[in-house]
Amino acid sequence: MDIKTLSPQVSVSPQITAADVAKVSEAGFRAIICNRPDGEGVDQPNFDEIEAAANAAGLRVAYVPVTAGMVTDDDVAAFASALAELPRPVLAYCRTGTRSATLWSFHEADKRPMPDILAATKAAGYDMNGVARRLANGGKTPTDTGDAHFEVVIVGAGAAGISVAASLKARDRDLSVAVIDPADVHYYQPGWTMVGGGIFTPEQTAKTMGSLIPKGVHWIKSAVAAFEPQANAVILDGCRVAKYDRLVVCPGLKLDWAGVEGLEETLGRNGVTSNYRYDLAPYTWELVRQMTSGRAIFTQPAMPIKCAGAPQKAMYLSGDAWHRRGVLDGIDIQFMNAGGVLFGVKDYLPALEKYVEKYDATLNFFHTLRAVDGAAKTATFEVAKPNEAATSVTVEFDMIHVCPPQTAPDFIRVSPLADAAGWVDVDQATLRHKEFENIWSLGDVMNAPNAKTAAAARKQAPTVADNIMADINGYSATAQYDGYGSCPLTVERGKIVLAEFGYGGVLKPSFPSFLLDGTKPSRAAWFLKETMLPPIYWKAMLRGKEWLAKPEKVNVAAE
């Protein structure tokens, strides 16, 4: 624990665990306020775990969740109510303590002089100068001046963000570039399917963020609160302001675990798992290894989702493991898909359907997961077939692999950059924002009709980098993105159907068919996925080396 005192009655800290609660009590605190929403991070205990530990220690608790970087007036009022009701002294916590310190600063604004608030938070290690500006400006953050200015600001340091930063620096090493991201760890998310299949270890899919930020790129370790595109400004957590000449938006998407009733409470136990989280993928493999009979359910929500093939990859690798152990005949595999087809590009269906038959899996289309009761081991689905009234069905399970519903992040959906569905609104070829000419977007968050995969980001990053450099030099777009995406469908251990396609489902193979026919399962594709792609990701893509990713040039007709 790292407890920081703001006043005799209120202290703040980064995330605590249930094991820390007894120490909190021993330190003299009488109550705890949680300012971090459940499900925000993979290493985070849920509030109910903290609450149970607090009750056991004789402490009062309150849950006042605040979205990172978005401290609203309602949040401040809720924090004030909690402080009024709880016995003092109180410990408030969030991921880093910043939100809790910000809430306290606003709460104290009409009670003590501003210099006292700034001094107290500074002594605790929190810079509230941005908050001071917001308070002095009637509750709004002034964006006419900023805390920092860069030629290019990139929001998000995932696969897309780091790749485009590296590609920009490869084109102009003197370019002033900043990347905004609060995360300490960067994940190779395509590897989580392999973790869930017992092929990779979790540690192979994670590196520290600091080790990956390209040389010469400034890392702003903060969450984004809002965008002010008219002022060329990004407002950060704590109300600091970063100004830009050009902006790239690529924070990824939001896994909406709360969108399924009861799911958050049972994840990681009761046979409920998901390869969409770093900490849960090992549990998938644990369940697969232990299972010898019963029913295994694999779910897929409505599109768009990150890596549309991942839900069935989990099914195939699990079925293969059971087949190799000779227990497959005793396991009932059910694939519950909210959509109406197994895979959206028909050329790959024959190969996939053979594996569905091999594993004797039942395909259930138009089934959307609505609720999970972990203790009862039941899952409830809404069944909405075309031209039929929607119905509901509850199915028992011994194991369920859940792909959660997915949306754009909250701070994107409420921003001026979003379309009606909440995704960043771009031209699908140039990836430039349709309204704001000095803004580009790539990766999972933008609304181009392509597959949301790391392979897509690998192709998009050079396109965005080329077009930004053209814009800096006074030219129109010089590169265009053709919708390329790749989904290595792991149909069994040692074989993959390598789906590569662009806009409209047009096949976009990277290799001649005599070397690798992506429509058929092959060991060559497995070798690519298992052995080649991880180092290509870490050592090429994230370092601006554009192997097989050179951007397509804009032709006259496209202009």
Q: Which two tokens stand for residue 375?
A: 């203790």
- What are the backbone angles phi and psi of residue 184, rounded to the nearest 5°? -90, -20
Instruction: For residue 62, give Cα distances in angstroms to 30, 40, 92, 362, 524.
Output: 12, 18, 9, 45, 55
What value does the mean pLDDT take over residues 207-234?
Answer: 93
360 in Cβ contact with 520 (< 8 Å):
no
Q: Which residues contact 395 (CB under 8 A, 6 or more apart)?
A: 295, 297, 334, 336, 378, 379, 380, 381
At residue 225, the pLDDT reads 80
Q: Which residues contact 208 (CB under 8 A, 6 or more apart)?
A: 184, 185, 186
At residue 556, the pLDDT reads 45
| CA atoms of 539 and 536, how far apart (whole Å) | 5
Res 87 pLDDT > 50 = yes
70 in Cβ contact with 226 (< 8 Å):
yes
Percent of the chain with pLDDT over 90: 82
Q: Which range among 300-309, 318-327, 515-524, 540-549 shows the weakest confidence by mean pLDDT?
A: 540-549
Q: Which range among 11-15, 38-42, 474-478, 502-506 shows the weakest confidence by mean pLDDT?
A: 38-42
250 in Cβ contact with 441 (< 8 Å):
yes
Select from 480, 456, 481, 477 the least CA-distant residue to 468: 477
Res 559 pLDDT > 70 = no
Span 463-478, pLDDT tens digits: 999 999 999 999 999 9
Q: Which two tokens stand for residue 154?
A: 């990139």
Q: Which two tokens stand for residue 175?
A: 């370019």
* Residue 265: other Cβ atoms inside 10 A: 17
Q: Which range among 44-58, 149-163, 223-237, 505-519 shows the weakest confidence by mean pLDDT?
A: 223-237
Burial of 272 (0-12, 13-18, 19+ CB in 10 A): buried
Select from 397, 406, 408, 330 the least CA-distant residue to 364: 397
Select from 372, 273, 348 the least CA-distant residue to 315: 273
List 299's β-bridge partners, or say none.
Answer: 336
Span 249-279, pLDDT tens digits: 999 999 999 999 999 999 999 999 999 999 9
363 in Cβ contact with 504 (< 8 Å):
no
At residue 548, the pLDDT reads 77
Q: What is the DSSP string of 189-248?
A: GGGHHHHHTTSS-GGGGEEEGGGTSPTT-EEE-S-EEEEEGGGTEEEETTS-EEEEEEEE
Bridge-based pairing of strands 241-249 and 378-383 is: unpaired
List 61's β-bridge partners, or say none.
Answer: 32
Residue 558 pLDDT level (bands cut at 50, 70, 90)? very low
Res 495 pLDDT > 80 = yes
Res 138 pLDDT > 70 = no
List 432's β-bridge partners, or say none.
Answer: 440
What value does the mean pLDDT take over residues 484-508?
Answer: 96
pLDDT, mean over the chain? 93
Burial of 196 (0-12, 13-18, 19+ CB in 10 A): buried
Q: Which two tokens stand for residue 206?
A: 């994670």
Burial track 31-64 (b if 16+ CB lie within 10 A, e otherwise): bbbbbbbbbebeebbebeebbebbeebebbbbbb
- Residue 307 among the catalytic residues: yes
What value does the mean pLDDT take over residues 85-111?
Answer: 92
| Residue 156, helix vs strand vs coil | coil
Span 348-372, pLDDT tens digits: 999 999 999 999 999 999 999 999 9
Select from 90, 92, 84 the least CA-distant residue to 30: 90
At residue 465, the pLDDT reads 98
Q: What's the predicted TM-score (pTM) here?
A: 0.80
Q: Which two tokens stand for residue 17?
A: 């665990």
205 in Cβ contact with 158 (< 8 Å):
no
| CA atoms of 498 and 503, how far apart (whole Å) | 17
Q: Which residues contact 223 (CB under 8 A, 6 or more apart)?
A: 68, 69, 182, 236, 237, 411
Locus of tokens 């959660």: 404
Q: Which residues contact 285 (CB under 8 A, 6 or more apart)?
A: 195, 196, 197, 198
At residue 237, the pLDDT reads 73
| Residue tagged active-site, from 34, 94, 307, 403 | 307
At residue 167, the pLDDT reads 97
Handedness of CA 165, 168, 172, 178 (dihedral sign): negative
Q: Tell me, what DSSP letter sits at residue 504?
A: G
Span 18-46, pLDDT tens digits: 999 999 999 999 999 999 999 887 778 99
Res 151 pLDDT > 70 = yes
| Residue tagged active-site, from 34, 94, 250, 487 | 487
352 in Cβ contact with 343 (< 8 Å):
yes
Residue 137 pLDDT level (bands cut at 50, 70, 90)? low
- Residue 94 among the catalytic residues: no
Query: Who wins on pLDDT, 117 or 163?
Result: 163
Select from 466, 437, 463 the least CA-distant residue to 450: 463
